[in-house]
Amino acid sequence: MTRLTVNLKRLPHGADLPLPDYATAQSAAVDLQAAIDGVQVIAPGKRAMIETGIAIALPVGFEAQVRPRSGLAAKNGVTVLNSPGTIDADYRGEIKVILINHGDAAFEIERGMRIAQLVVAPVTQVAWQAVDDLDETARGSGGFGSTGTKGAVSA
Ligand SMILES: O=c1ccn([C@H]2C[C@H](O)[C@@H](COP(=O)(O)OP(=O)(O)OP(=O)(O)O)O2)c(=O)[nH]1
Ligand SMILES: [Mg+2]
C-alpha cells in the first residue's frame, strides 16, 4: 500500500518507544502507545489524558483521528471519550488520548501499552453558501429512525 510520508517527532519521554506502526499489511490505523512512567490506573467511571510521546506534522489537507481499540472496549469497557479525537494538520503539540473507563474494574495502563489507534484521513474544508431554500429530496427532514427498523422499503 502506498504510504504518505509524515514527519513525527519523538518527545523526550517517548524516545525509547517504537514508532507507531500498522499491525498488518492493510491496517487502517497505527496503534498509539502510552508514554507514561510505570503504571497508571483509571478507576471505574473515571477518565485520564494519556501522553503518547509523539508530535506530528500532517500535510495540509489531512487530519488524524484518535479512535478506540475494540479489544479494550470489549474486554475492559475502556474507550476514547472524545472519539474520534481530531488531530489538526497544524497541531504540533503532543498527541494525547482521553480514555474513559466504562468498565466495572480498575484499568491499569503500563508504559508502551497500545491504548488507541490513529487514522490519517483527507479533509475537505467547505465554503458555506447561505441560501433561503435547500433542494428537495425523498428523505426531506426525516431522520432518527424515520425509515423504521424492518427490511428495506422497495421503490
Ligand atoms: O484526542 C485528541 C484530540 C485533540 N488533540 C489535540 C490535537 C488537536 O489539533 C488539538 C485540538 O483538539 P480539538 O479541536 O478537538 O480541541 P478543542 O477543545 O476544540 O481545543 P482547541 O480550542 O485548541 O481547538 O488537540 C489530541 O491530542 N488528542
Ligand atoms: Mg478545536
Nearest-CA residue for atom 15 of ligand 1: 86
What does pTM read for this prediction? Answer: 0.95
Tell me the ipTM for this assembly.
0.99
Ligand 2 centre distance from Cα of residue 87 (Å): 9
The CATH number of the structural domain formed by 7-122 is: 2.70.40.10
Contact partners, residue 71, CB within 8 Å, separation at least 6: none
| Ligand 1 pocket check for 22: Cβ under 6 Å | no
Give the pLDDT confidence score for residue 152 in this predicted structure. Answer: 76
Give the pLDDT confidence score for residue 153 in this predicted structure. Answer: 66
Domain ranges of the chain: 7-122
Ligand 1 centre distance from Cα of residue 14 (Å): 20
| Ligand 1 pocket check for 95: Cβ under 6 Å | yes
Q: What is the mean pLDDT of each run of 10 residues along the chain (155 residues)?
A: 96 97 97 97 98 98 98 98 98 98 98 98 98 98 94 71
Give the pLDDT confidence score for residue 154 in this predicted structure. Answer: 66
| Ligand 1 pocket check for 86: Cβ under 6 Å | yes
Q: How far apart are CA 54 and CA 33, in angstroms?
A: 9
80 Cα nearest atom in ligand 1 = 1
Annotated ligand binding at 69? The verdict is: yes
